[in-house]
Structures are given as structure tokens and as C-alpha cells.
Amino acid sequence: MAMESYRCVVCQEEITAKEHSYSTRFFNMALCRKHQEIQKMAKARQAEVEQKPSPTTIETKNTASVEAKVLEGAPMLPEEK
């Protein structure tokens, strides 16, 4: 009976059956330990980015509040007919 061989999809390094099982369960791909660590860091960075509001959202909110303050002090323009 031949033993099955597993390889990292990134670097083609041979990995154990346990490494293969773990990485396919958590990362949906066969990764060596080095590339598992890299993938963990990438996932952590992505989660961090998703928690922060985007700069455009902050800018839009600030612009809208500034416009509202400017309009509050401005005289009303007559409506066009």
C-alpha cells in the first residue's frame, strides 16, 4: 500500500497528513507551516482592516456636517417658480 504524499500549494514542500488536514480545514488549501503562518497574519490584518471605518466614510460624514452648519447660518434663497 503506497503512502499518500501531500504538498503545499504555494511552495510545493512536502507536508504531513496532519498539516494537510489542519490547513485544509482552516485555510481551505494545503499549506506548509511557513505558509500557514503567513496566511494567519494575512487573515488577522484583513480582520483589522474590516473593523476600521474607511477614510472616505469619515470624510463624507465630516463634509455633510460642515455643509449643514454652513446652511444653518445662510439666508434662505427664494424658491424658483
The domain spans of the chain are 6-64
Give Cα separations from 44 to 30, 36, 37, 58 (angstroms): 19, 12, 11, 23
pLDDT at 51: 85
Percentage of the residues of the chain whose pLDDT score is greater than 90: 53
Q: Give dist(CA 7, CA 13) in Å, integer.
A: 5
**What predicted TM-score, i.e. pTM, was given to this entire model?**
0.57
pLDDT at 7 over 70: yes
**pLDDT 10s digits, 32-45:** 999 999 999 999 99
